[in-house]
Amino acid sequence: MKRILSILLVSLLIIGGLVGCSNNKAQSDTGKRIILATTTSTRDSGLLDYILPNFEEETGIKVDVIAVGTGKALEMGRKGEADALLVHAKPSEEEFVKEGHGLYRKDVMYNDFVLVGPKEDKGNLKEKSPRDIVKGLRLIAEGNYKFVSRGDDSGTHKKEKALWEEAKVKPEGEWYLSSGSGMAQTLKIASEKQAYTITDRATYLNLKDKLDLEIIIEKDDRLFNQYGVIPVNPDKNENINNKGAEKFIEWLLSEETQKQIGEYGKDKFGMPLFVPNAK
């Protein structure tokens, strides 16, 4: 009995060793997987689930998606914990590349933000300011209507803060709720509290059926949301899979994938959730 056991153990070790070696070999090429740090909106909108299987099939590289706020995604890049970033806060992204954390930054696609709120629209914003987000925010603050903020340093939160600044309002007080959560959770809180919030259109449309919220303000130029992709600087540590990341970016910006991005959501919502604009 003992002998059989020891033979089994030895053979397990040998097999394990062989598998380990072959894995190493593959990794030295383009690697078997890359880590993509991205925003919750690309995941919550369902876009990545829609396009990524193609990439994995074409190249055999698995993409591990870590969906966090843009702030955390950039932080992960800075520490070399991710291979590529897909985020939406252009000024922060450019700074990230300038500081040498990323190799370059390229436009991928855009979508837009909308202000959503309760159907009864307590502040009557829909009539007073259907196309002017800054005026809308000012009305919310003046009327002390409840507003839920992401409050998590994400791209959406950064956008919201910039808009409050433009409205010259310091969002503080009983009416201003900071959720510190992702977009889906924040929308849920807004729906429960019958409050206003700023969301990307994609996530809102995807969750619309489960929410008691509707679009109040949209199509303001200031609500434009550009996504960029960045390969993390491979000098950070030797675990960074730069080849895989480059391959991913090349695929993401390719004509075929861009076309696919432009089609996502059309059948369900009657309009694309993201507009591709890679150059």
Partner 1 sequence: MDYIINGIIEALKLLVSFNRELYEIIFLSVFVSSTATLISSIIFIPLGLYLGIKNFKGKKLFSRLLYTLMSIPSVVVGLLVAILLSRRGPLGFLELLYTPTAMIIAQSLLVTPLSLGLSYNLSKNRGKKIERVGITLGARGVKIIFLLIRELKIDLFINLVTVFSRAISEVGAVMIVGGNIKNRTRVITTSIAMFNSMGNYSTAIALGLVLLAISFIINSLIYSYHQEDY
Q: Which residues bind partner 1 (CB under 8 A)?
A: 68-69, 71-72, 74-76, 79, 151-153, 177-181, 185, 188-189, 191-194, 212
CB of 83 to partner 1, least distance (A): 17
CB of 69 to partner 1, least distance (A): 6
Of the two residues 118 and 276, which places its CB atom closer to partner 1 in the complex? 118
Residue type, 62: K
Nearest to 224 by CA among 198, 206, 249: 198
Of the two residues 31 and 182, which places its CB atom closer to partner 1 in the complex? 182
Of the two residues 71 and 265, which places its CB atom closer to partner 1 in the complex? 71
CB of 180 to partner 1, least distance (A): 4
Of the two residues 32 and 210, which places its CB atom closer to partner 1 in the complex? 210
Of the two residues 122 and 135, which places its CB atom closer to partner 1 in the complex? 122
3-class DSSP string for the chain: CHHHHHHHHHHHHHHHHHHHHHHHHHHHHCCCEEEEEEEHHHHHCCHHHHHHHHHHHHHCCEEEEEEECHHHHHHHHHCCCCCEEEECCHHHHHHHHHCCCECCCEEEEEEEEEEEECCCCCCCHHHHCCCCHHHHHHHHHHHCCCEEECCCCCHHHHHHHHHHHHCCCCCCCCCEEECCCCHHHHHHHHHHHCCEEEEEHHHHHHHHHHCCCEEEECCCHHHEEEEEEEEECCCCCCCCCHHHHHHHHHHHHCHHHHHHHHHCCHHHHCCCCCEECCC
Of the two residues 81 and 220, which places its CB atom closer to partner 1 in the complex? 81
CB of 17 to partner 1, least distance (A): 31
CB of 192 to partner 1, least distance (A): 5
Residues 39 and 131: their CA atoms lie apart, in Å, by: 26
CB of 31 to partner 1, least distance (A): 25
CB of 212 to partner 1, least distance (A): 7
Pull the structure tokens for residue 227. Answer: 């996504």
Of the two residues 30 and 39, which places its CB atom closer to partner 1 in the complex? 39
